[in-house]
Amino acid sequence: MAADKSLSNKTISDNRQAGHNFFLLDHYEAGIALSGTEVKAAKSGKVQLREAYATVDNNEAWLLNAHISEYSHGNRENHSPVRPRKLLLHRREITKLHEAIRIKGLSIVPIRMYLKNGRIKCEIAVAKGKKFHDKRETERAKTAESEAREAVRASKMKF
């Protein structure tokens, strides 16, 4: 039982570039339809989400360009590393995503892949691309916030 709790929200892969390159608007949790060797490879951490994105086609959500390496002990039934994978969402969530990506400049980006109660989930977000000056402004805000936090910490140390 204790082993199950430690695996309840284990992060398999992060897409750290997503927060830097996009304004993340709405977040969704989606299941993923995977084959057996994909599950084993994902649980061993062989997932890359950097260039991945999601789309809606025929009222189904799909994860594209996500790289899950081949399972090392797989046989001829091993999976293709980059293949479209179906995202498991509720109908109303798919409709919201479809409406969002119809707007120019919005896309669906995977944020992270993780284990939740033994199942592999993918957190996706509706995202709007940042321009160069937006990235610079975000970096300035982070720097100012960390400096303010450090100043507060230093003032507490004096008293």
CATH label of the domain that carries residue 106: 2.40.280.10
Q: Does the predicted TM-score (pTM) go above 0.85?
A: no
Among the listed residues 12, 65, 64, the one whose alpha carbon sits nearest the alpha carbon of residue 42: 12
Q: Is the pLDDT of residue 159 over 50?
A: yes
Total count of domains within the chain:
1
Pure H helices in 69-131: 91-102
pLDDT score at 7: 47
**What ranges make up the beta strands (E) of 10-142?**
11-14, 22-32, 47-48, 53-57, 60-64, 67-68, 85-88, 106-116, 119-129
Any domain includes 136: no
pLDDT-based confidence at residue 136 (cuts at 50, 70, 90): confident
Report whether 124 contacts 109 (CB < 8 A): yes
Any domain includes 37: yes
Any domain includes 119: yes
Q: Is the pLDDT of residue 17 over 90?
A: no
Taking residues 1-17, what's their average pLDDT? 69
Report whether 132 contacts 36 (CB < 8 A): no
Any domain includes 63: yes
Give me the percent of the chain exceeding a pLDDT of 70: 93
pLDDT score at 1: 43
Any domain includes 144: no
Tokens of 85: 């994978």
Strand partners, 62: 55, 86
Any domain includes 135: no
Domain that holds residue 29: 2-130
pLDDT score at 120: 92
Computed over every residue of the chain, the mean pLDDT equals 86
Any domain includes 138: no
Q: Provide the residue type at 154 as one letter.
A: A
pLDDT-based confidence at residue 63 (cuts at 50, 70, 90): very high
Among the listed residues 62, 79, 63, the one whose alpha carbon sits nearest the alpha carbon of residue 71: 79
Any domain includes 126: yes
The whole-angstrom distance between residue 129's C-alpha and the CA centroid of its chain comes to 16
Which 8-state DSSP code applies to residue 90?
-
Taking residues 5-31, what's their average pLDDT? 83
Taking residues 11-27, what's their average pLDDT? 88
Query: Does residue 64 or residue 75 have the better pLDDT?
Result: 64
Taking residues 137-157, what's their average pLDDT? 86
CA atoms of 41 and 56, how far apart (whole Å):
26
